[in-house]
Chain A
Amino acid sequence: MEPVFAILVGALFTVSIYLFMSKHIIRVLMGAAILSNAVNLLIFTAGRITREVPPIIGPGVDTLSASAANPLPQALVLTAIVIAFSFFAFLLVLGYRAFQKLGTDNSDEMRVAEPVNEPAPPLGY
């Protein structure tokens, strides 16, 4: 099962990086959403996917047996999902407000903070 998930994670990363290279904020937003899901799936898969063996560390042993799924990555992913979701919500609003105020979602045209023809500083006193 894990190899399939590993390939899926790779595919998701590819898609998100491709979307990140776009000039349009809306595509970058979709890339951000896919990227966070790719990472969550990656960590989830790294903790092994099975539900047959309960994750109990037996007496006299220090580590979890290799046949059980490790619950800690699942807890980490749970935290990361919440954070990624709230970030995505914020970025959606920010992107929309920027579109409203700047009138464009093309990052090439978003030059309010860094104007194209900024004059050089005075070269003499």
Chain B
Amino acid sequence: MAGKTAGLEDLSVAYVTEPVAAADWLIVAPVALCLLVGSVLLMLRKDTRLQPLIAIPALMVLSAMTLGLLWHVLANGTVTMTMGRWLPPFGISFTVDPLSAFFAATSSLVALAAGVYGRSDIDHSGRRYGFYPFLLLIMAGVIGAFLTGDVFNLYVWFEVLLISSFGLLVLGSERGQLDGGVKYAFLNLVATTLFLIATGYLYGLFGTLNMADIAVKASELRGTAPLMTLVTLFLLAFAMKAAAFPVNFWLPASYHTPRLVVSALFAGLLTKVGIYALLRVLGMLFPIEREELSFIIAIAAALTMVLGVMGALAQNDIRRALGFLVVSGIGVMMAGLALGSPAGFSGAIFYAAHSMVVMTALYFAIGIGVSLGGNFRLSEAGGLYARNAMLAFVTLMLFLSVSGLPPFSGFWPKVMLVKASLDIGAWWLAAAILVTGLLTTITVGRIWALAYWRPAGEGAASAAAGSAPGSAAGSAPAGAIAALFGLVALSVAAGVWPEPVLVLSQDAARGLIDPSAYVLSVFPGEAAQ
């Protein structure tokens, strides 16, 4: 931008003049597709038969786009597209590095599974309430948040996904949903407001909202500006979104109330957007401040994982236990953020992708179990192994994966994080991860023993109609089974053959620790100067 003394008629001072390369359109295509199909579905809200027929192919196209984007980024490095063709930092940039592309691809596969599962889980009245439009719009928010390179734009995508999540949460307006929805809505509103305050201060200090520009200017401003205050505000806001202790209580209060597929989607995606924002803002933009805060983050991480899993141990309702396990997993990712080393970041990234897939699949498995005649209440559940041994086996694999046992996908990131903590002498953090793994194994082992292995009829009140063996047991719909098996296949593949995911996570972590590729992609001119 500097160095040119052209007249007003020379548009190259203000605009990107060369045409956008065809493959670069992939940067905005996922978000545009979600918004477009979401609004079409909104117009077809009353045609409940047509909705999944449009939404599921659209989610397939979305997955193809984000996988294509991931391939494009891995082949060509970080790519940028600036809206309105303004030269950055004046336009809003979408900058896609391996981290963004990896999370976007994983989340769209999870959304596809949710769309397929929702076909059987959401009846016609639920579709009229707008399940599929909200699903597409929430994906616009999630993927927009992953791909954007602008802090205020990140705030806007947070709001897009938040307002869609409100709609999904109260789908059906039952008593429990309204109760959980009130708590979810207020606490998330406070979190995004904190984020907005921090964004306002950020602009006041930096005079720019472009992430690449901030990464460059942070080192110049470090001596004079109160960056520590700013980063602490960001940490609080994003930790609240990610449900880290002590600001996690909205999650277990609400995640068990909506339709099962909605719980599954939220557990898979929403908290991970908070983790992504933490990694991006604290990890990439303000590494020095993150280092100073790392002890606080580590304590919060250890408490989040241990208290989360202890909450799960105390629950009689399987869905509530899973909600607490989501919180516990957030603690493991926060531990990676606290470590800040390449191994720590890549462990957190790997664990976040694993958690997106596995937590969603766990909710699916529990939901299919209940549709087979099981029960959400542990005291009354039983007999699922006798009904469907295959489902019981697949659920056991997921349980072992979430507790981090080999050969499933939860094992490798935990190994990386434990090793990274021991490397810097933080034995207590490593111990917290291992104790959490043990307690998680006890929690899920008990769920499996009681709900799957125990013969039906031994539970407290299973004489009640509906859980009588054989008679009322429905059969699980094929679509739901396919969605579950698809996600389990991803988890097993990443566990047995972790090399590609490991390399990808390490690539993504490198991009966070050394943002020069990110900056260069936004400001190609800087290299020449």
Which residues of A are at the interface with B, using a C-beta cutoff of 8 A? 20, 25, 28, 32, 35-36, 39, 42-43, 46-47, 62-63, 72-73, 76, 79-80, 83, 86-87, 90-91, 94-95, 97-98, 101-102, 107, 110-114, 118-122, 125
Asked whether B159 lies within 8 Å of A102 as measured between CB atoms, the reply is: no
A76 nearest CB across to chain B (Å): 6
Nearest chain B CB to A125's CB is how many angstroms away? 6
Given the known A-B contacts A120-B316, A121-B379, are A98 and B182 also in contact in the complex, defined by CB atoms under 8 Å? yes
Contacts of A113 in B (CB 8 A): 176-177, 179-180, 183, 253-254, 256-257
Which residues of A are found within 8 Å of B180, using beta-carbon distances?
Answer: 113
Given the complex, which residues of B lie within 8 Å of A47, measured CB to CB? 204
Residue in A closest to B449 when the chains form the complex, CB atoms = A125
Is there contact, CB below 8 Å, between A101 and B379? no
B170 touches A94 (CB 8 A): yes
**In the complex, what residues of B have CB within 8 A of residue A35's CB?**
190, 193
The winner among A62, A63, A118 for most chain B CB atoms within 10 A is A118
Report whether A90 and B166 are in contact in the complex, using a CB–CB cutoff of 8 Å: yes
Q: Which residue of B lies closest to A64 (CB)?
A: B207
Q: Range of interface residues on chain B?
A: 35 or more
Which listed residue, B163, B177, B256, touches A87 by the CB 8 Å rule? B163
**Cβ A86 vs Cβ B163 within 8 A:** yes
**A46-B200, A73-B200, A76-B200 given as contacts; is B378 within 8 A of A121 (CB)?**
yes
Cβ-based interface call for B141 (8 A)? no
Residues of A within 8 A of B152 (CB): 76, 79
Contacts of A25 in B (CB 8 A): 182
Interchain CA distance A102-B379 in the complex, whole Å: 27
Consensus secondary structure, chain B interface: helix
> How far does the alpha carbon of A30 sit from the alpha carbon of B173 in the complex, in Å?
23
Nearest residue, chain B, Cβ from A79: B156
B196 at the interface (CB under 8 A from A): yes
Chain B residues, CB < 8 A from A83: 156, 159
* Interface pairs A-B: 3 shortest CB-CB: A43-B200, A98-B178, A113-B180
> What residues on A are CB-neighbors of B252 within 8 Å?
114
Q: Which residues of B contact A110 (CB under 8 A)?
A: 179, 182-183
A102 to B179: give the CA distance in the assembly, Å: 8
A95-B199 Cα distance, complex, nearest whole Å: 28
Q: Per-residue 0/1 for B185-200: is the Cβ within 8 Å of any A Cβ (1 yes, 0 no)?
A: 1100110010011011
Does B173 lie within 8 Å of A97, measured CB to CB? yes
Q: Mark each residue of chain B from 305 to 318: 1 if its CB lies under 8 Å from any CB of chain A, else 0.
A: 00000000111110
Please determine whether B182 and A87 come into contact, CB atoms closer than 8 angstroms: no
Answer yes or no: B2 CB below 8 A from chain A CBs.
Answer: yes
Instruction: Tell whether, in the assembled complex, residue B163 and residue A32 are in contact, meaning their CB atoms are under 8 Å apart.
Output: no
Question: Chain B residue with minimal CB distance to A83?
Answer: B159
Give, as a whole number of angstroms, the nearest-CB distance from B215 to chain A: 18
- Measured CA separation A118–B207 after assembly (Å): 52
By a CB distance below 8 angstroms, the chain A residues around B186 are: 28, 32, 91
Residue of chain B at shortest CB distance from A125: B449
Determine the residue in chain B with the shortest Cβ distance to A29.
B186
The answer to whether A94 and B185 have CB atoms under 8 Å apart is yes
Question: Shortest beta-carbon distance, B374 to chain A, in Å?
Answer: 15
Q: B46 an interface residue at 8 Å Cβ cutoff?
A: no
Kindly report which residue of chain B lies nearest to residue A62, judged by CB atoms: B2
The minimal Cβ–Cβ distance linking A111 to chain B, given in whole angstroms, is: 8
Report chain A residues within 8 Å CB of B450.
121-122, 125
* Residue ID in chain B nearest A63 by CB atoms: B207
Residues of B within 8 A of A112 (CB): 175-176, 178-179
B181 at the interface (CB under 8 A from A): yes
- Let me know if B203 is at the binding interface, CB within 8 A: yes
